[in-house]
Amino acid sequence: MYKQVILNHLLDYLKIKNVVIKKSGKVIMLECPFCKTQPLSANIIPNTSVINCYKCNKKYNLMDLVKYIENKTNEDEIYQYLKELLKIEVMTKKDEDELIKTLDFYEKNGFDLVPIEKNGKRPIEKDWTNKTHKSKEEWLEWIRNGLNIGVKTGVRSGITIIDIDQKPIPEEIRLMVGNTLIQETKKGFHLFYKYDKDLPKTRIEELKIDIETTGGQVVLYPSIVENEKRNFISGDKIIEIPKDLKGLLKSKIELPALKSFSEKLRDDIKSEDFKLEVIKEGEGRNNFLIHLGGILRKELSIKQTEYVMNAVNNHFCSPPLSQKEIIAMVGQLDKYIEFDEQELALKVLQYLRNVEDGTRTDVERAIGEKKARTDKVLAYLVKEGYLLKRGKSYHIIKKADWKDTLIDIGKPVPFTVPYFYDVANYNWGDLLLIGSKAKYGKTHISMNIIKKLQEQGVKPYYISLETGSRFAKIALQLGLKEGDFYHTFCADPTKIELEPNAVTIIDWLLIVDKAKTDLIFRHFIEQLNKTNGFLIIFQQLKQDSSWFAENMCKQFPALATRYLYENDNEGTYGKYIIDVVREPKPFGKKVFEIPCVYNWKTKELKRIDELNEEEGESGIPVKE
């Protein structure tokens, strides 16, 4: 994709090459470099990066121009040249080769990495000190998603890093550094050494040095922090810390007072540096953990089980299994502990929903069951977070929300609806239908909507009807973090239960059988009435871009729209076509189409009019 991003910098290149350009409104005319005709004979075709010259009757792009103007032929080299000339932040093939080489080095040295927020230094993974990520493939995925990476210092990766907070390195220290790996940062340097247990994690103010070891992490190449890329400036190996440097540091570390046992315990827990090597590779780590998980899962929820398994994995397994393996294992667990009372549990929930709360005896009577089975079901529902037990009575969780929603029906939603804010008025209980074809970026649009809602303080619910985790990648690329939205997978749309007063996005509805479609839509409308939520559904379109079951699609939604590409084979430019508006915005202009542009680098989909406002510039969309 980097190629398209680079080609979109057409205008920047023309400016650098002093090509005569004349703008009038949205039309950009220029002197054609091939025929140099005056008056200007060429223009940039609106919403593209292609030039058309009516004099020489040629259509050409940035690649054609560079080949002609600079007499170059090798396209890979031209991309690299343009990237550097125009300072475009994309990854070319050459960058990628260099990156792979470095990641190999990290892997070979046993680095344990953590995903870090875009352009910053904070880990984005919850409970990250308890997780293990040692595979190159996983790291590469983070980086491709635009994230930064950090290395867990200390025992986790077998390294101690000396973080020097000034430039240049003071002379007395520089002489002691040795030939080891050094990373340059905006304000200083990181010296990499083999893990040294004698050096604690601390700050030595006098030397402007931080010692980073167990419990910490350091952001690594190719991360970009405050718009500055980190780079290695020397060394291709990691050595033991030289004796004199270690001596200097130790002499400057303020001696901690003798610690009592409880202080020591507290520090150990904080730094998690009390690794007990119980089970080694080849001694059945998998087997041990899955059995343990099975036992835990009897009493703990999925989340709690995963937490304990992570902690045990990291402290009792050497080396620990990867995060992926643990997650897969936790996913497996439910297979072994199928709850055999699902139907009864549903009955109990329905009963409690109607009566708001009840004691065990109430429940027992209502569902006509024996004490033992009732107790089992109630315990299960409490454990899984459906019910709350207060004193002797059981409550449905979130019951309070359910009670006051009736008053809110028909009230305007308290947020701006992304993309369609000036088309219609939106109320709680509304359905918004977006039609799209396969491979037309619907999951990108979903995540863009979630981002725009999250920015307004809304935490949406995302339900995927397809397996796979593509949405998570896109979310990270857009800068969303864990905890920004809820997500789940559901294979059967008629089983979806909406949350009260919440925004839910369903990705996506395939119309297999028309009769069933009717059923599905009725189910959603019922759910909307019941929960007073706001529902956005992505629905499959026919190959010719028209609706399946058109009547239905036009009967229920407050807004029905289709997202189509300008050019069928290329996703940069697209538009929403508005088909149904139930309550148009009064005094608003009638809108039938909303043109949009997709930024391949940031994964953002924006309305073109928003783009022009932001940049006050031409129609060339991808500005880095």
Binding site for Zn ion (CB under 5 A): 32, 34-35, 53, 55-56
Strands 461-464 and 486-489: parallel
DSSP 380-416: HHHHTTSEEEETTEEEETTHHHHHHHHHHTTPBPSSP
Instruction: Tell me the three state secondary structure of residue 433.
Output: strand
Distances, alpha carbon 57 to alpha carbons 32, 54, 143, 546, in Å: 11, 5, 42, 36
Give min distance, CB of 590 to Zn ion, in A. Answer: 40
Please tell me the distance from the alpha carbon of residue 14 to that of residue 28, in angstroms, as a whole number: 12
Give min distance, CB of 13 to Zn ion, in A. Answer: 17
What the block records as the tokens of 262 is 């409880």
**Could you tell me if 478 and 448 are in contact, meaning their C-beta atoms sit under 8 angstroms apart?**
yes
Report angle CA 26, 59, 57 to the nearest 5 degrees: 105
Give min distance, CB of 40 to Zn ion, in A. Answer: 10
Buried b (16+ CB within 10 A) or exposed e, 474-495: bbbbbbbbeebbebeeeeebee
Give min distance, CB of 47 to Zn ion, in A. Answer: 21
Q: Compare residues 52 and 301 and give the one whose CB is closer to Zn ion.
A: 52
Q: Compare residues 64 and 98 and give the one whose CB is closer to Zn ion.
A: 64
Give min distance, CB of 56 to Zn ion, in A. Answer: 3
Please tell me the distance from the alpha carbon of residue 62 to that of residue 428, in angstroms, as a whole number: 48
Give min distance, CB of 457 to Zn ion, in A. Answer: 52
The verdict on whether omega for the bond into residue 170 sits within 30 degrees of 0, i.e. cis, is: no
The verdict on whether omega for the bond into residue 222 sits within 30 degrees of 0, i.e. cis, is: yes
Give min distance, CB of 42 to Zn ion, in A. Answer: 6
DSSP state of 154: B
Strands 503-509 and 461-464: parallel
Phi, psi of 462 (to 5 degrees): -115, 120
Please tell me the distance from the alpha carbon of residue 509 to that of residue 607, in angstroms, as a whole number: 24
What the block records as the tokens of 414 is 């308290």
Q: Compare residues 56 and 295 and give the one whose CB is closer to Zn ion.
A: 56
E-assigned strands of 556-592? 559-567, 570-581
Give min distance, CB of 70 to Zn ion, in A. Answer: 18
Give min distance, CB of 140 to Zn ion, in A. Answer: 43
Give min distance, CB of 60 to Zn ion, in A. Answer: 9
Q: Compare residues 36 and 371 and give the one whose CB is closer to Zn ion.
A: 36
Q: Compare residues 35 and 577 and give the one whose CB is closer to Zn ion.
A: 35
Strands 27-30 and 21-24: antiparallel
What region does 343 belong to: left with phi over 0, alpha with psi -120 to 50, or beta?
alpha
Q: Compare residues 56 and 278 and give the one whose CB is closer to Zn ion.
A: 56
Buried b (16+ CB within 10 A) or exposed e, 533-563: bbbbbbbbbeeebebbbeebbeebbbbbbbb
What the block records as the tokens of 297 is 């899962």
Give min distance, CB of 602 to Zn ion, in A. Answer: 34
